[in-house]
Amino acid sequence: MGTERTDPLRVEREELPNGLTVVRQPPPAGASTFSATFVAPSGWSYDRAGLEGLARVTSDLLPSGAGKRSRVELARFLDSRGGSLGSHADPESVDVSVHGPSTEWEPLIRVLADAVLRPRFDPEDIARVKRQMHERQLRELSQPGERVEREFLREVFPVGHPYRLTGLGTSSALRRIGRPELRGFHSSHYVPEGAFLVVTTPRPLADVRRAGRRLFDDFAQEKAPPTPALPSVPTGPRAARSLAMEGNSQVEVRLGGASLARADARYPALFLANEILGGRSMLCRLFQRVRERHGLAYHASSDVQPMRWGGYWHAQAGTGPERAQKVVKLVRDEVRRMGEELVRPSELELIRESAIGEIPLEIETTSGAHQLALDVAYNALPDTYYLDWPVTLRSVSARALRDAAQQGLSAEGAVTVLAGPVPR
Amino acid sequence: MPQRSGRPTQRFALKNGLKVILAPEPKSLTASVWVWYRVGSKNEWRGVTGASHWVEHMLFQGSPKYGKGKLDRAVIEVGGTLNAFTDTDFTAYFITVPRQHLAVPLDIESDRMTRARIAPEEVERERTVIRSEREGNENWPEFRVDEELFELAFRRHPYHWDPLGFPEDIQRLTAVDLKSYYQRFYGTKNAVLVIAGGFDPAALRREVTRQFSPLPEGGDDPVVTTTEPEQRGERRSELTGPGTTPFLEIGWKAPSTSDARTPATLLVDVILGGEARLFSAGGVWGRSHEHPSSRLYRALVDTGLAVRASSEYRPKVHPSLFTVHARAAKGVPLARLEETIDSELARLGRTGPTPTEMNDARTKIRRGAAVAYEGATFTGFRLGYLSMLGGPGFESDLFHRVLTTKASQVKAEARELFQTDRRSLVTYEPTEVTGGN
C-alpha cells in the first residue's frame, strides 16, 4: 500500500479532560468534503420501563432545531452551506453527524455542537416526531421485512436484554414522552464520558482537539450512565415461528442467533466466516446455492451485527410461500456446514483476498471512510486497525474460522422466523 | 457548474459507434467502469414487458470468456463490486475495482456487450428469481401505488408498465424472446462506456480501443414513436392492503429532459419538496429525504396532517410525471391531504415563489453541485446517467438555465403543470394491522 492509500486507514485520537475522546481520520485523496460524528452512550437500551422509544425520539429531535435556530431555520442554514445533519440510533449508542464541504468546517461543526448540546425540543417538533414514530411502529407490524426483524430479535434475546427491542417503543409509551422526559434523558445520556467526536478531515488533530474543547464543553452532566444489565441468552433447540401476514406477496425468512462482540479477538475469523456464508455478495454460499443453483429467491445473504456488549447474526432471504420451506432448509444446511466442515483453502483464499482487495472501495468517499473511523473509535480498536486488516485476515486459519462460526454463526439454537403469506 | 476535481473529462467515439467518456482522477485508488445502454422498459411492448430487466439479469449468466459464475468471481476476487439496474429509459452495469485491476471490468464488458449466452436453462432458473424480485417489491405498498399511478397516467406510452414487467409476461417470456431482444438493442451504437477513477487517460484510451473496436457495429436505439395522448380529465384509483396509515400519490404530466420547461419544473420540485435532484450530492436517485423548509413539508407535516410529504420530478427521455406523495398522520382523512396539496399548488401558481425561496433554491443547487462528484463509482454513475438524458453539454447547460430561471417562470410553470384534468391520483387505505405491541 502506498502512502495515499493508507492515510484514511489510520486514525489519531486523544481524550479531553472532560472525558470526550476526539478522533481524527484523514479523508480520501481528492475529497472536498468532511464528516463529523458525535457518538453518545444513549441508545435505546437505556430506555426506562414505560418510556420505551424515548432514546429514538430524542435522537430524532436533535437535528430538528438546535441552539438559536428552529427546525426550518436550521434546514435553511444547512442548505446555504451545502451541509447535512442527521442522527442514527442503535441499542447502545446514538450517532449525530454532520457532512459538508471542507470549506464550511467552522459553521458546520458549530451546528453539530448545537445539535448535541442544545437541542430545542420545541413542542411542535416533539409532536411531529411522535406522529412519525407511531407510523414507524405500525410499519414494523405491517411490513413483512420489518416485522420479521422485530420478531427475530424477540425470539433470540430474553426480556430485559438490550438487543431484544428495536427502539420504536409502544404507542402507550409514546404518549408518556414529553419535554421533561426528553430533557432528562438528554442531560443524563449526552455526556462527554464515554463519548466520541470522530472527524474525517484534512485538518490536523490539533484543530479537531480545539473544536472539541471549544465547542463540546458545556454538558449538563459528565458521567456516563451505567451499562444496562445483560441477561444471558438462551441456547438449545428452538422452534421455528411463522407469522401469517395476509395480503403480501413474499415471505421474509430470518434464521440466526446471538453472536460475538466487535472487539472479540475471534471477530476477524467470524467476519470471514460470514463473508463465506452470506456476506460476500455473489460469491457467498447462500447466494450461490439459493439463487444461482436453485433459483429460489432474489436475495439470500447473511449478516453479523457485532456490537460492544455482544451481537447477533442472521441469514435472510425473501421468497414465495411455496418455496419458503425449501429455502429454510437450504439456508440451515449451509449454516450447519460452516460450523462442521473446514473451509477449503481455495475458498478461504478467494474470500479473504476479496475482502482485502475491497479496502480502497470502502474509502472512495469521505462518508465511506468515516464509517471505518467510527468503527475503530467506538469499539476501542487500535489506531491502525484497518491498516493492519490485511495481515489480520491473512492470519486466520480454516480451523479458526470454523471455531468462530461455531460461536458466532451457530446453527445450534438458531431461531427461524418467517413473516408474510406463509401457509397457515 | 458541477466540477470534478480530477483532470478534464475526455469524450470520444470508436468507429463502431461506441461512445466513451473517461473521467480521470489521478489520486483515486479505484476505477469504476459503467456501461449504459439506451434500452429500458420504454423499448418494450405488451407481451414482452420486463424484457430489458430480464436481459440485465442474463448478462451475469455467462458470455464466451466468462461462463456462469466466472464473471462475478473475476470481479469479487480482486476486491471489486458489481451490479446493474434497469430503468424506463436505460440499463446500466457497473464494476468498481481497485485501480490496478481495471483490465478485469474492461474485459468483461467487451465480452458481454454483444456475446451474452442467454441459455434456456438459465432463463428458466432466473424466472423464479425475477418473480421473487417482483414479489419482494409488492410487499411494499409504495411500489404498488407507484405502479398503479403510472398504469393510470399512461395508457399507450410504455411508461405504463414498471421495468420489472407484468407478472404474466414474467411467466411467459422465453429464452428466444430475450435473446432476440438482446441482439436488437445491445451493441456498440446503443451504449456509452464511462470509466472514472485512477488511470492514465492516454493509456486507457488505447486499451479501450483495443478491447472494444473489434466488436461489430450494432445496437438499435429506435425512437419510441408512441406518444401519450393528451390527458383530458382526472383519473383516480383506490388501493387497499396491509399498511400503516393511508397515503396518496398524485402525478401530473411533466416535461421531458429536452423540453424548455424542464429548468422551471426542477425549481418547482425544489420549492415544493426540497430535493435538488440532478444537482445534489447523491440525490439523483431514490426517495426524497425530509426537507423541513419545503412548502409541502410545512403545509402537511408541520401542521400535523401528514407524517411525510414530498415531491419528485425526475426528468425522463419522454414526458413523464411530476409526483407528490403524502402519508397521513393517524386519524387524518386523505381528502384533507388532497385539499391541502391542491391549495399549496394553487398558491404557487398564483403568487409564485418568494425571493427568499428562489434564493434558497439556487443556493441549494449551487452547493449540491459543488460536491456532486466524489469517488469513482458515483462519478461514473453521474456522467453515465446524464449522458442518457442529454448530450455532452447537457449538465452545464441545464445548470445554467436552472440558475437563470426567474420566479415568474416558476409561477407560470406551476400553473401549467398542476392542472386537475391532467393528473392521476392513487390512494392507499390500509387494512387492519394484525398483531400487537
CB-based contact A139 B244, cutoff 8 Å: yes
Regarding whether A49 and A113 lie in a shared domain, the answer is yes
Q: Give residue-wise pLDDT tens across range B241-289.
A: 999 999 999 999 999 999 999 999 999 999 999 998 888 765 544 445 7
The domain boundary residue, chosen from B175, B197, B212: B212
| Residue B436 maps to a domain | no
d(CA A75, CA A201): 23
Query: Strand B247-254's sheet: what is its strand order?
Result: B235-241, B423-430, B247-254, B320-328, B306-313
Regarding whether B259 and B118 lie in a shared domain, the answer is no
Mean pLDDT of A175-179: 98
Specify the CATH number for the domain of residue B370: 3.30.830.10
| Residue A195 maps to a domain | yes
Regarding whether A246 and A169 lie in a shared domain, the answer is no
Regarding whether B259 and B187 lie in a shared domain, the answer is no
d(CA B68, CA B66): 7
B391 band by pLDDT with thresholds 50, 70 and 90: confident
Taking a C-beta distance cutoff of 8 angstroms, is the pair A241, A155 a contact?
A: yes
Regarding whether B313 and B198 lie in a shared domain, the answer is no
Regarding whether B396 and B362 lie in a shared domain, the answer is yes
Regarding whether A100 and A14 lie in a shared domain, the answer is yes
| Residue A236 maps to a domain | no
Regarding whether B174 and B114 lie in a shared domain, the answer is yes
ipTM of the complex: 0.92
Query: Which of A235-249, B72-86, B124-138 has the weakest average pLDDT?
Result: A235-249
| Total structural domains within chain A | 2
Q: Give residue-wise pLDDT tens across range A324-377.
A: 999 999 999 999 999 999 999 999 999 999 999 999 999 999 999 999 999 999
| Residue A161 maps to a domain | yes
Q: Give residue-wise pLDDT tens across range B5-21.
A: 778 999 999 999 999 99
Q: Give residue-wise pLDDT tens across range B368-389.
A: 887 788 899 999 999 999 999 9
Beta bridge partners of B100: none
Regarding whether A247 and A204 lie in a shared domain, the answer is no
Could you tell me which residue, A348 or A7, shows the higher pLDDT?
A: A348
CB-based contact A72 B293, cutoff 8 Å: yes
Q: B residues 76-105 near A, CB within 8 Å?
A: 76-82, 96-99, 101
Taking a C-beta distance cutoff of 8 angstroms, is the pair A104, A118 a contact?
A: no
pLDDT at B295: 97
Regarding whether B194 and B251 lie in a shared domain, the answer is no
CB-based contact B29 A247, cutoff 8 Å: no
**How many CA atoms lie within 13 Å of B152's alpha carbon, on the beta-carbon side?**
24
Q: Give residue-wise pLDDT tens across range A314-339.
A: 999 999 999 999 999 999 999 999 99
Range of the domain at A413: 241-420
Regarding whether B408 and B351 lie in a shared domain, the answer is yes
Regarding whether A266 and A192 lie in a shared domain, the answer is no
Q: In this complex, how many residue pairs, one in chain A and one in chain B, have their CB atoms less than 8 Å apart? A: 213
**Closest A-chain CA to B27:** A29
Regarding whether A169 and A50 lie in a shared domain, the answer is yes
Regarding whether A80 and A184 lie in a shared domain, the answer is yes
**What is the grid cell recorded at B192?**
456509452
| Residue B221 maps to a domain | no
Q: Is B338 helix (H, G, I), strand (E, B) or coil?
A: helix
Among A137, A354, A360, the residue with its CB nearest the CB of B77 is A354
| Residue B227 maps to a domain | no
Amino acid (1-letter code) at residue A112: L
Specify the CATH number for the domain of residue A326: 3.30.830.10
User: Which one, of B116, B100, B59, lies nearest residue A282 by Cα?
Assistant: B59
Regarding whether A389 and A327 lie in a shared domain, the answer is yes
CB-based contact B135 A249, cutoff 8 Å: yes
| Residue A127 maps to a domain | yes
Regarding whether B289 and B191 lie in a shared domain, the answer is no
**How many CA atoms lie within 13 Å of B293's alpha carbon, on the beta-carbon side?**
26
Q: B residues 291-320 near A, CB within 8 Å?
A: 291-293, 298, 301-302, 304, 307-308
User: Which one, of B101, B73, B98, lies nearest residue A390 by Cα?
Assistant: B98
| Residue B308 maps to a domain | yes
Q: A residues 58-97 near B, CB within 8 Å?
A: 64, 71-72, 74-76, 79-82
Test the A interface: residue of B27, B30, B132, B239 with most A CBs within 10 Å: B132
| Residue B3 maps to a domain | no
Average pLDDT taken over every residue of chain A: 94
Regarding whether A210 and A245 lie in a shared domain, the answer is no
| Residue B222 maps to a domain | no
pLDDT at A2: 33
The domain boundary residue, chosen from B212, B243, B262: B212
Regarding whether A248 and A208 lie in a shared domain, the answer is no
pLDDT at B217: 95
Q: A residues 313-342 near B, CB within 8 Å?
A: 318-320, 323
Neighbours of A307 (CB within 10 A): 22
CB-based contact B28 A30, cutoff 8 Å: yes
| Total structural domains within chain B | 2
Q: Give residue-wise pLDDT tens across range A243-260.
A: 999 999 999 999 999 999
Regarding whether B131 and B21 lie in a shared domain, the answer is yes
| Residue B151 maps to a domain | yes
Among A79, A323, A354, the residue with its CB nearest the CB of B79 is A354
Neighbours of A322 (CB within 10 A): 10
The domain boundary residue, chosen from A180, A215, A250: A215
Q: Give residue-wise pLDDT tens across range A119-157.
A: 999 999 999 999 999 999 999 999 999 999 999 999 999
Taking a C-beta distance cutoff of 8 angstroms, is the pair A9, A363 a contact?
A: yes
A281 band by pLDDT with thresholds 50, 70 and 90: confident
Regarding whether A180 and A313 lie in a shared domain, the answer is no
The alpha-carbon gap from B360 to the nearest alpha carbon of chain A, in Å, equals 7
B130 and chain A: CB distance < 8 Å anywhere?
yes
pLDDT at A235: 85
Regarding whether B252 and B169 lie in a shared domain, the answer is no
Regarding whether A186 and A115 lie in a shared domain, the answer is yes
Range of the domain at B55: 10-212
Whether pLDDT at B432 is above 80: no
